[in-house]
């Protein structure tokens, strides 16, 4: 359970990357400060259990603020590739075990088919199912295809950059080995 003082040291990470695990997230964020705890938020809108957000508790609030500002300004590198990740400071209401507002209760009741609210409830139920199906489709097809294309493009760019840097180092090494650098200096 998170306490009020530890909330100030928490960051909420939301991501679309499918390869995020606690170990990967912890390793990636340890470059900004010491990660105390990582807790994934269950995604209740999907039939599959793919986490979309995580609470990350950092050693102190200064490091947590630094993570939030860094995520907004620079691409986040995870597993050697930049990933689309958003970060924001955590708030007490974001946690499952937070204190409820006094006097606020959730009430429910069963409706008869003749009840005027029955039609509205049925429409909301169908709309919820439709949204879940659309979300699942986007996650399964569109997002994975777009992400794979972006990762492939990035991998090609990184390979080209690596090849160019290797050729530069080979050229510099050749100049140093054949004595051309010494002749230029003198």
Over the stretch 5-61, which tens digit does the pLDDT of each residue have?
455 556 666 665 666 778 888 887 888 888 888 888 777 666 666 667 788 888 888
* Average pLDDT of span 100-129: 85
Residue among 75, 41, 65, 44 at smallest CA distance from 55: 41
> How many angstroms separate the CA atoms of 130 and 128, rounded?
5
For β-strands 10-15 and 76-78, DSSP reports them as unpaired
Please state the φ and ψ torsions of residue 20, each to the nearest 5 degrees. -80, 125
Q: pLDDT digit string (tens) for 128-183?
A: 888 888 877 776 776 667 777 777 787 788 888 889 999 999 988 888 888 877 77
- Calculate mean pLDDT across residues 57-76: 79
Indicate whether this model's pTM tops 0.75: no
């Amino acid at each position: 359970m998170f306490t009020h003082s530890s909330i100030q040291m928490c960051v909420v990470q939301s991501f679309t990357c499918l390869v995020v695990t606690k170990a990967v997230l912890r390793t990636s964020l340890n470059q900004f400060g010491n990660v105390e705890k990582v807790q994934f938020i269950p995604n209740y809108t999907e039939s599959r259990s793919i986490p979309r957000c995580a609470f990350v508790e950092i050693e102190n609030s200064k490091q947590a603020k630094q993570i939030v500002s860094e995520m907004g300004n620079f691409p986040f590198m995870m597993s050697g590739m930049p990933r689309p990740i958003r970060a924001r400071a955590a708030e007490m209401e974001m946690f499952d075990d937070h204190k409820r507002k006094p006097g606020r209760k959730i009430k429910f009741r069963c409706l008869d088919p003749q009840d005027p609210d029955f039609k509205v409830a049925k429409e909301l139920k169908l709309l919820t199912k439709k949204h879940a199906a659309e979300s699942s489709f986007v996650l399964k097809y569109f997002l994975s295809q777009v992400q794979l294309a972006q990762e492939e493009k990035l991998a090609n760019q990184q390979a080209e950059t690596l090849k160019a840097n290797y050729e530069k180092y080979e050229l510099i090494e050749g100049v140093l080995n054949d004595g051309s650098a010494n002749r230029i200096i003198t």
